[in-house]
Structure 1
Amino acid sequence: MTPLLEAWRHRPTHRQVWSVAMPLMLSNLTVPLVSLVDSAVAGHLPHTQDLGAVTVGSAVYALPVWSFGFLRMGTTGFAAQAMGAGDASALRTVQAQALLLAAALGVIVGALMMPALPWLVGQMHSTPLMTSRALDYLHLRLLGLPAALLNYALAGWFIGAQRTRTTLALLLVTNVVNIVLNLLFVLGFGWGVPGIAVASVGGEWCGAAYGLWRAYQVVHSMDGRIDWRAMRGWDHWRPLLAVNRDIFVRTMLLEGVFFSLSLLGARLGDATVAANALLFNGLMLCAFCLDGFANAVEALCGHAIGARDNLALRRALVVAGGWALIGSLGYALFFGLAGRLFVNLQTNLPEVRAMAYGYLPWLTVLPLIGVWSYLLDGLFIGATRAREMRDGMVLSVMSYALLLWLTRGLGNQGLWLAFLAFMAIRATSLGWLGLRIQRRHAWVAQGQGFGNT
């Protein structure tokens, strides 16, 4: 029996992968639901500027929240390795440092953004009334920024500790409270746009309170203690900050790629940018499933690395990779057979439909190419090797920029070709870096765990 087949036939690993992945897949489904409720509530307010103000305000608020997503990824790897090593003190310390970092960033960034809000909203070129209401929304909405970042850190810690059901519960509390308060404050009390903002803030703080309570329960049952004296020294913070720095750089580069797709697509005409937006919703749909398996790789591979268990590492990669491949094949089959139905459900505009139909073959192969970069991201996050992730992303973005220039005469076809090549190069570069680490037997032998420099 080959090592890969032996790994795939290990049933306990299948159960572990699904126990981590399934709650996270379900939690992903709650995210668009909240946006839908916000838009629906704002859309029933008496003025068109109300919906515009919420849209503009949400876009501005998303800038720091999305940018600091490294708090989730950076925490997961260290927590998973501490869990695998059976080091309760390290697991406690990871939690404390992640929460302190999230709270500090939430307060500092929120305070810095307040005076910059008029300029940020002004870049949207809104009408004076919409600008005024968007500012009212944001002045309240930023009160929830510390809670939003705390929820990132908590979710990362729970995933690393293989408590993904708690992550699901945290997101459900946040989003359900947001929805209920939206209906109460706006439709019940008539608070308008400020009511939507207060509802979002209330949901974030309720989620953070629940997450902190559950985190306290978990660590209260553990042995070990936090070494507060050591935490006063720079050496104790350096590994966590270095990983978060590199993930931040990698995230900004990735966001730049997606921004360029919107920007360059818009230059090709309204129908083109609309068609691309519909097709990229297919990419988001894939993420609901494939991200769950990538998160399972983060938790289980980090645990195996912390435990210095090469066999468990191989099993986690093979099993999660196998299910992710099956999922990507399912998506490719769906887009290949029902792609036109997928487009038609999103729009009834004949011009946009016709434009989108022409690019469905690109969407069909996208899951089969993208799945590998998702999984390898999970491996490097679990191993806390963010520097290699950053370097791979730099190479991929440079290649993407070159391909954009070379295919500039192909219009939107060239744009899609450059993007799929970017995804392929991203996976290939990470795979090559991963093989180099494997040849040195360094995945497990040289742990990158918490406290290592």
Structure 2
Amino acid sequence: MSLQSSAYTNTLQASLTNKQYMALAVPIIISQMTTPFLGAVDTAVVGQLPNPIFIGGVAVGSLIFNTLYWVLGFLRVGTSGFTSQAHGANNHVELLYSLFRPMFIAMVIGGLFILFQEPIKWAALKIINPTSGVAGQAALYYDIRIWGAPFALMNYVILGWLIGSSYVKLTVYLQIGMNVINILLDVLFVTSLNMGVAGVAAASLIAEVGVMLAGIFILLKLKLVDIRSVHLVKNIFERTVFIKMIKVNRDLFIRSICLLAVYTIFTSKGAQMGEVELAANAILFQLHFIMAYCLGGFGNASSILIGRAIGSNNNQLFSDTIKLSAKWGTISGIVLSLLLFICSSVIYPLFTSIEEVIECILQYQGWLLLFPIAGFWGIILNGVFSGATEAAQIRNSLMVSMIFFIVLVYVLIPVLGNHGLWLSFTLFTLSRSLVLGSYLPKMSKSLF
């Protein structure tokens, strides 16, 4: 197996440069930014159908899967951390285990989703509570796409393993490949074959299966994984390491649940503000996600390098990564805020043509401008601690910040209304950065 993944091999012996750091971060950012784009294309294609229940059906169905898969994002994050550490230690066997172990978990969870697909569908539709027409289309979408669950989760593992091994460009190709396949099939099935919502779901299913198979092919073709190493599978349950992996994934899962709770409360409280405020909040929150995906690219780059530093016991690489992450995170946070401020007159009309909603957005955009500055450090540190496989601190920071957010919501909204909701979310974001940052000195001392 070749461990030569690019210029990053040399970072184990020399100081990490800005060029090396950005060469790792930029492709990850590009890869991450494809995610919101895919949802937009699905909506645009189904939006050409004559009845709005089709749009609602795809929106509700997508929400179910986006939520399920987002909560299980620990499969990618955890895999990346263990892989980068094994790579840094030049441990070929553990590098394979860092793929086999989470792959087994992904297959089990995906299988359980298929086995319990009816109860999951019933619970999801009960919680979302759409109209009967939308519910019927959402159920149609769900019944088709649920069969892709094992493949989608295995894709998470493959992407995490490739990222942890610094084969970042391969992850970009796989992500873009999945999006292109999905878009082409969307157009074929919906526009040409008139398959409606079923066509959108089938396109996503085929894209997920195809990319998983392509990922396996790449691993074998480039000899990143040797087929002769399959016999190692029998040892994936080695007690000490397997338990550690389960604990890390458990803590990252709790972290995701806390974030999901915050997003749900935000949406629920926003819905009580009125239709115009709800629409404005929804658009601003979508822009927040785009910013978060961008900043998450730096977090993923940090995760790779921190894991490599720990695996190779390289304190210099660890320190360089922290410094460059702080530097580029600060720059990116400021640039994102400035771009949104300068281009707001162009960006907001892309989301809505309703003048009243745009005016409402302008009232609250100041809070969104603060998000990248308040939140970049927490997002980057999430990558740092993930790369160190120190997920308990990530869990704790989100639990504390979530409780803080809930208290703020019930105190500030009665006084400040929608401004109180956004202030609560901004302080939650800042709290996440500060609490997780407080763990950094202790972790640094314990590792080196």
Q: TM-score, normalised by structure 2?
A: 0.91
Match of 1:437 among 414, 438, 443: 443
Question: How far apart in 2 are the matches of 1:281 and 1:134?
Answer: 21
Q: Which one-letter code corresponds to 1:351 in the other structure?
A: E
Task: Check conservation: 1:182, 1:195, Cα contact below 8 A.
Answer: yes
Question: How far apart in 2 are the matches of 1:332 and 1:127?
Answer: 38
Q: Do structure 1's residue 267 and structure 2's residue 277 form an aligned pair? A: no
Q: Cα distance 1:134–1:333, how it changes in 2: closer, same or farther (>3 A)?
A: closer
Equivalent residues in 2 for 1:79-118, closer than 5 Å: 79-118=83-122
Task: Report which stretch shifted further, 396-405 or 221-230.
Answer: 221-230
Task: Report which stretch shifted further, 294-303 or 128-137.
Answer: 128-137
Equivalent residues in 2 for 1:361-380, closer than 5 Å: 361-380=366-385
Q: Do structure 1's residue 174 and structure 2's residue 175 form an aligned pair? A: no
For residue 44 of structure 1, what is the aligned residue in structure 2?
Answer: 48
Deviations 1:381-407 (CA, angstroms, capped at 9, x unpaired): 000000111011111112222222332
Q: Do structure 1's residue 314 and structure 2's residue 292 form an aligned pair? A: no
Question: How far apart in 2 are the matches of 1:18 and 1:226?
Answer: 38
Deviations 1:61-82 (CA, angstroms, capped at 9, x unpaired): 2232111111011111100100
For residue 406 of structure 2, what is the aligned residue in structure 1?
Answer: 401
Q: Do structure 1's residue 417 and structure 2's residue 423 form an aligned pair? A: yes
Could you tell me how far 1:114 is from its partner in structure 2?
2.6
Question: How far apart in 2 are the matches of 1:89 and 1:222?
Answer: 13
Question: How far apart in 1 are the matches of 2:139 and 2:226?
Answer: 45
Task: Check conservation: 1:89, 1:226, Cα contact below 8 A.
Answer: no
Q: Cα distance 1:285–1:229, how it changes in 2: closer, same or farther (>3 A)?
A: closer
Question: How far apart in 2 are the matches of 1:266 and 1:56?
Answer: 16
For residue 154 of structure 2, what is the aligned residue in structure 1?
Answer: 150
Q: Do structure 1's residue 385 and structure 2's residue 394 form an aligned pair? A: no
Task: Check conservation: 1:57, 1:121, Cα contact below 8 A.
Answer: no
Q: Which one-letter code corresponds to 2:434 in the other structure?
A: T
Q: Cα distance 1:138–1:79, how it changes in 2: closer, same or farther (>3 A)?
A: same
For residue 327 of structure 1, what is the aligned residue in structure 2?
Answer: 332
Deviations 1:131-190 (CA, angstroms, capped at 9, x unpaired): 333222211110111111011111111111111111111112211111111222222222
Q: Cα distance 1:321–1:134, how it changes in 2: closer, same or farther (>3 A)?
A: same
Question: How far apart in 1 are the matches of 2:346 and 2:126?
Answer: 39
Question: How far apart in 1 are the matches of 2:229 and 2:87?
Answer: 12
Q: Cα distance 1:68–1:288, how it changes in 2: closer, same or farther (>3 A)?
A: closer
Question: How far apart in 2 are the matches of 1:415 and 1:344?
Answer: 24
Question: How far apart in 2 are the matches of 1:14 and 1:397?
Answer: 34
For residue 3 of structure 1, what is the aligned residue in structure 2?
Answer: none
- Corresponding pairs, count: 434
Question: How far apart in 2 are the matches of 1:413 and 1:275?
Answer: 12
Question: How far apart in 2 are the matches of 1:315 and 1:236?
Answer: 28
Could you tell me how far 1:328 is from its partner in structure 2?
1.0
Q: Cα distance 1:82–1:282, how it changes in 2: closer, same or farther (>3 A)?
A: same
Question: How far apart in 2 are the matches of 1:348 and 1:400?
Answer: 32
3-state SS of the aligned residue for 2:49? coil
3-state SS of the aligned residue for 1:219? coil
For residue 164 of structure 2, what is the aligned residue in structure 1?
Answer: 160
Could you tell me how far 1:224 is from its partner in structure 2?
7.8
Match of 2:132 among 124, 128, 133: 128
Q: Which one-letter code corresponds to 2:354 in the other structure?
A: L
For residue 25 of structure 1, what is the aligned residue in structure 2?
Answer: 29
Task: Report which stretch shifted further, 188-197 or 79-88.
Answer: 188-197
Q: Cα distance 1:377–1:334, how it changes in 2: closer, same or farther (>3 A)?
A: same
Task: Check conservation: 2:276, 2:357, Cα contact below 8 A.
Answer: yes
Task: Check conservation: 2:47, 2:55, Cα contact below 8 A.
Answer: yes
Deviations 1:292-348 (CA, angstroms, capped at 9, x unpaired): 111110001110111100101111121232122111111222234443443344323
For residue 74 of structure 1, what is the aligned residue in structure 2?
Answer: 78
Q: Cα distance 1:133–1:397, how it changes in 2: closer, same or farther (>3 A)?
A: closer
Task: Check conservation: 1:88, 1:225, Cα contact below 8 A.
Answer: no
Task: Report which stretch shifted further, 170-179 or 299-308.
Answer: 170-179
Question: How far apart in 2 are the matches of 1:191 and 1:365?
Answer: 43
Q: Which one-letter code corresponds to 1:425 in the other structure?
A: S
Question: How far apart in 1 are the matches of 2:38 and 2:329?
Answer: 27
Could you tell me how far 1:431 is from its partner in structure 2?
0.9
Question: How far apart in 1 are the matches of 2:352 and 2:284?
Answer: 11
Question: How far apart in 1 are the matches of 2:189 and 2:341?
Answer: 44
3-state SS of the aligned residue for 1:352? helix
For residue 305 of structure 2, what is the aligned residue in structure 1?
Answer: 300
Question: How far apart in 2 are the matches of 1:196 and 1:240?
Answer: 35
Could you tell me how far 1:225 is from its partner in structure 2?
7.8
Could you tell me how far 1:196 is from its partner in structure 2?
1.4
Could you tell me how far 1:223 is from its partner in structure 2?
11
3-state SS of the aligned residue for 2:353? coil
Q: Which one-letter code corresponds to 2:373 in the other structure?
A: L
| Structure 1 unaligned regions, length at least 5 | 1-6, 446-453
Question: How far apart in 1 are the matches of 2:240 and 2:145?
Answer: 35
Q: Cα distance 1:354–1:48, how it changes in 2: closer, same or farther (>3 A)?
A: closer
Q: Cα distance 1:123–1:428, how it changes in 2: closer, same or farther (>3 A)?
A: closer
For residue 7 of structure 2, what is the aligned residue in structure 1?
Answer: none
Question: How far apart in 1 are the matches of 2:229 and 2:135?
Answer: 52
- Root mean square deviation of aligned Cα: 2.2
Q: Which one-letter code corresponds to 2:381 in the other structure?
A: L
Task: Check conservation: 1:159, 1:167, Cα contact below 8 A.
Answer: yes
